A and B are shown apart, each in its own frame.
Chain A
Amino acid sequence: MGVVAEALVWLTDAANWSGTAGIPNRVYEHVRISVFTVMCAAALAIPVGMAIGHTGKGRFLVVTLSNVGRAIPSFAILGLALPIAIKLNLGLGFWPTFIALFALAIPPILTNTYIGVAGVDRDLVEAARGMGMGNRQILRRLEMRLAAPVVMVGLRTASVEVVATATLAAIVAGGGLGRYIIDGFAVRDDARILGGAILVAILAIFTELFMGGVERLARPRTSS
C-alpha cells in the first residue's frame, strides 16, 4: 500500500476522530490559536497603520518592521520566544507559539493598512477637510471605508500564513495539527505525517477562501 493510501486510511479511521488527540480537537486547537493571534495582531497593527497612513508620520517604522518581519523565519522567533516564555512563567506550547505567530502576522496587516489609508486620494481628503470634516470623521467615513479592501488583503495574508505556521506549536509541546506531523516523525509513522500535512493544507485553503469572501464584502460600493 502506498503512503497516500495509508494516509487516507489514517484520515478515515474513526479512532483518529475522537478524544484529545482526535482530529476535531486538533483542528479546534489550531484554529483557536490562529484566530486569537490574528485578532491580537489586527488589534495592534490596524490602529497603528491607520495613524501612520493618516498622518504620514512613522512611515520608517512600517517599512523596517515589514522588512525585518519577513527576513526572520518564524522558526527562529519560536526559538527566541521559548526561553522568554519560560522565564515569564508562561509555560510551553501556547504562548511561545503565540509570540512567534504574532510577529509573523503584524507585518502584512500593518503594511496593508498603511498602504490602504495612505493610498486614499489626497484631493478627496482635502475636499473633505475643506468641507469641515474633522480628522476622526475623515478617518472613519473616508479613509477606513476606502482602505477596507486593502486592509482585508493584509488580514487574509496574515491569516493564511498564521494557519500554515501554527503547525510549529507542536515543537514546543503545543497542540494543533502540527502534533500529527511532529509525533509522526518521532514514531516514523508516514501516514500520520502526511495525514496531518493534508489537514493543514485544507485548513489553509479554507482560510484563504473564507477571508477572500470577507474581503469582497468589505469592498465599498461605487456603482449602482
Chain B
Amino acid sequence: MGEPHIRLVDVVKQFPNSQSLAVDHLNLEIEEGETAVLVGPSGCGKTTTMKMINRLVEPTSGQIYVDGRDVMEQDPVQLRRGIGYVIQTIGLMPHRTIAQNIATVPELLGWEDSRVKSRVTELAGMLELSIELLSRYPSELSGGQRQRVGVARALAADPPVMLMDEPFGAVDPIVRARLQDQFLDIQDRLRKTIVFVTHDIDEAIKMADRIAILNVGGILEQYDSPKEILRNPANDFVREFLGSERGLKRLALIKVSEIEVEEGPVVAPGEPVQKAFEVMESSGSTWTSVVEDGELLGWVDRQALEGKARVSDAPAQKFSAFVTADSSLREALDSLITSETQVAAVVWEGQRYRGVLNLERISREILA
C-alpha cells in the first residue's frame, strides 16, 4: 500500500486560554476507502482532530496530509469543497428546500443545472428519500430523514473523503441502527475514506475498519481494527472503555464463514444403518446428520435407527438451530443456547451442508 489517504503527523492543538493540550502529538494514518472511527470520552479531542482535517480548526503544530498534500498549504474553502462534512445537528438551511440543500456543494462548484438535478435525484434514491421530499423544507422532515439528507448533502459532489461528527447521534436507537446499516451498505459500494467521530463504542465497533481510541487530552491509546482491539486491548483505559461483554462484542464481528467448522457425523440416507452406527461411534455422539448430495436433510439418533435397515427408513429430524455463512458467531451463539440440542447445523446458501457448530467451538474462538 502506498501513501495513506489521510496522514496526521505529530499533530498538536492547544486552544488559546487553555493550559492543557486538546490534541497531544497525534500520529494517525487512514488508508483509502477505509472508515476510521475516532472514539473517546468528552475532552479527548476527537472532534477537534476531525475539524483539523478540513481546517475548521487549525493545528498548533504538526502536519496533516490529505492525498499527500499538506492541508495548511491549500486554500481552506477549496479544500473543504473536496471533503464531505456531516455534523450531529446536521445544519440544514431552513430557508432552502431539501433539493437545494443537497445541491449546496455542486452549486458552489458551479455545476450545470441539469447535472445538479440528476445528481440530487440519484442521491435521493441512494438514501431512500422519496422524490416528494425534495421540494419540502427541512422543518417538514422527521429526524431520521434529516440525517439522511445531511449524508446526501455531504456526498453530493462525490468527495473522496468524508468527515462525519456523530452523524446519527440525534435520533432514537431504532432509527440510528437503520441509518447505520444503510450507511454501511452505501459505504460498501462507494468506498470513501471516512473519518467518523462518536462517543459510542458500539457504534465505533459497528462502523469502523479501524478504531482510534482517544483519552482526555488528545492522547491516542490504541489504533487498530475493532476485532484486534476487542481481542487485545492495549491497556486498562481501553479495556474499561470497551465495557463489559467484550467477548460477545467480538463474536458479533466474526462471521461463521471465517472460522473452520467441524464436519461432524454425516451419513447418506441410502446407506445401511450399520454405517450410521460406525459414524456415531467414531465421533463419540449419539446422532448423525443426514446429507444427500450435499443437501442437509436433518438428523437421526441411535434410538430411531434401531432395527431399521437403511438410514432413510428412519424419519430425519429437523435441526432446531441453523446458522448460515453470513451469520455472526454472536448470532450462532444465540441460536445455540436457545436450542435444545446445543448443536447448530451450519449451512451455506440454501441447505448446502457445511458442518456443525457447538458451544465448545465458539468458546475456543472467544479465547483465541
Q: Which residues of A contact B (CB under 8 A)?
A: 121, 123-134, 137, 141-142, 145-146, 220-224
Given A123-B91, A128-B91: A222 touches B139 (CB 8 Å cut-off): yes
Interface string of B259-291 (1 = CB under 8 A from A): 000000000000000000000000000000000
Interface size range of chain B in the complex: 20 to 34
Contact B91–A224 (Cβ < 8 Å): no
- Chain A residues with CB under 8 A of B78: 132
Contact A130–B77 (Cβ < 8 Å): no
Interface string of B75-118 (1 = CB under 8 A from A): 00111111001010111111101000000110010000000000
Interface string of B26-56 (1 = CB under 8 A from A): 0000000000000000000000000000101
Contact A223–B80 (Cβ < 8 Å): no
Tell me whether B136 is interfacial, beta carbon within 8 Å. Answer: yes
Q: Which residues of B contact A (CB under 8 A)?
A: 54, 56, 77-82, 85, 87, 89-95, 97, 104-105, 108, 135-140, 153-154, 163
Given A132-B105, A133-B108: A127 touches B137 (CB 8 Å cut-off): no
Contact A222–B56 (Cβ < 8 Å): no
Task: Give the CA-CA distance A146 to B139 in the complex, in Å.
Answer: 14
Contact A123–B139 (Cβ < 8 Å): no
Contact B95–A126 (Cβ < 8 Å): no
Listed residue (A126, A132, A223) with the most chain B CB atoms within 10 angstroms of its CB: A132
Contact B54–A221 (Cβ < 8 Å): no
- Chain A residues with CB under 8 A of B87: 123, 126-127, 130
- Chain B residues with CB under 8 A of A130: 54, 56, 80, 85, 87, 163
Given A137-B108, A222-B139: A127 touches B91 (CB 8 Å cut-off): yes
User: Which 10 A-B residue pairs are closest in the complex by CB-CB distance?
Assistant: A127-B91, A132-B81, A220-B95, A130-B85, A132-B80, A123-B89, A124-B91, A222-B94, A123-B91, A134-B77
Other than the known A127-B89, A132-B78, A221-B95, what 6 A-B pairs have Cβ atoms closer than 8 Å? A130-B87, A131-B85, A146-B95, A220-B94, A222-B95, A223-B137
- What residue of chain B has the Cβ atom nearest to residue A223's Cβ? B137
Contact B85–A127 (Cβ < 8 Å): yes
- Chain B residues with CB under 8 A of A223: 136-137, 139-140
